[in-house]
Amino acid sequence: MAETRLTLALSGGQAVLPDAGMIAVLGPPPGYDLRAFPKDRTVIVTRFRPAFDEAAAQGFAVAEALPEAVAATVLVVPRAKDLTRGSVAEAARAGGAIIVDGAKTDGVDTLYREVARRAEVSPAWSKAHGKVFTIAAGQSFEDWTRAPAANADGYLTAPGVFSADGIDRASALLADALPAKLGGRVADLGAGWGYLSARALQGRDEIRALHLVEADNAALDCARANVSDPRGQFHWADATEWAAPEPLDAIMTNPPFHTGRSADPALGVAFIRSAARNLAPRGQLFLVANRHLPYERSLMDEFATCVEIAGDKGFKVLHATRPRRK
């Protein structure tokens, strides 16, 4: 594996891990290089299931929240500004220095300037279109804390979750296109903070169980608040690997098509294959996607039929039936 920005900074002395005490790595995405960290005193902190499972498989201790006290925290800068600020505040509460590793496209330059105006911070080391810098221990960023709150549409959301500010257009289009009846066993793959599931449960008494499957546990916590119907069942899981407890009558999904900032249509294809695997022989899939994404070929590989049932200039709602058994 090639050296990364952080491993180069650590080997070159631009950042230094403590010789003793617990080290926390906060928010690493899947594939993040963890080789520099001693497994016997490092905890990987993430609420994103694929990253959580990957770190555990490598032999690291994993957790959803930082320990009360650590010798140092390595903060991997996320995309959302409010989540970044909240992560800095969380790391500061745990004590120890905060080693920040971030890309320019995720706002690390702005973060450095904001931190430098109020706290003791090392010079920033630039490499690979990003920066590494260290915030000295003993700083306070409590005013950067952001709690979950109701968005413009009245749903509880949290910093950093998809479409935190309100209902996204694609999900609304899909919800409006769902038929009057979906069957008794339904799932929402990539359920987010629960909008689609909340809409699907309205007026559909035939639904006995609706499984909300979401990899981001912060979003799933919001879904638990937004979907109070007892038929909702919540699963912190990677939707591409999740196995339903029984074959399903219908699945709905607004699958992600980015990994970080990089377009990754293969992720949507993996959602399609998961849906086909989990549906009953006469099951139905309802999927919304950006119009330019060529999911129809994958849908016809996995299902007997596929038609567009709704859409606009930007999005299409596709209906696929009868998964093929391979």
pLDDT in the model for residue 127:
97
pLDDT value of residue 262: 56
User: Is the domain covering 150-323 a CATH 3.40.50.150 domain?
Assistant: yes
210 strand-pairing partners:
186, 232
Residue 65, exposed/middle/buried by CB under 10 A (0-12, 13-18, 19+)? Answer: exposed
pLDDT tens across the length of the chain (326 residues): 678 999 999 999 999 999 999 999 999 999 999 999 999 999 999 999 999 999 999 999 999 999 999 999 999 999 999 999 999 999 999 999 999 999 999 999 999 999 999 999 999 999 999 999 999 999 999 999 999 999 999 999 999 999 999 999 999 999 999 999 999 999 999 999 999 999 999 999 999 999 999 999 999 999 999 999 999 999 999 999 999 999 999 999 999 875 555 557 899 999 999 999 999 999 999 999 999 999 999 999 999 999 999 999 999 999 999 999 87
Please report the pLDDT score of residue 259 as a whole number: 55
Topology at the third CATH level for domain 5-144: Rossmann fold (3.40.50)
Quote the pLDDT of residue 263: 58
pLDDT score of 257: 77
Task: Provide the pLDDT for residue 265.
Answer: 82
Q: Give the pLDDT confidence of 101-146 residue by residue, as tens digits.
A: 999 999 999 999 999 999 999 999 999 999 999 999 999 999 999 9
Q: What pLDDT is attached to residue 217? A: 98
Residue range(s) occupied by CATH 3.40.50.150 in the chain: 5-144, 150-323
pLDDT of 260 reads 54
Could you read off the pLDDT of 231-270 as tens digits, one per residue? 999 999 999 999 999 999 999 999 987 555 555 789 999 9
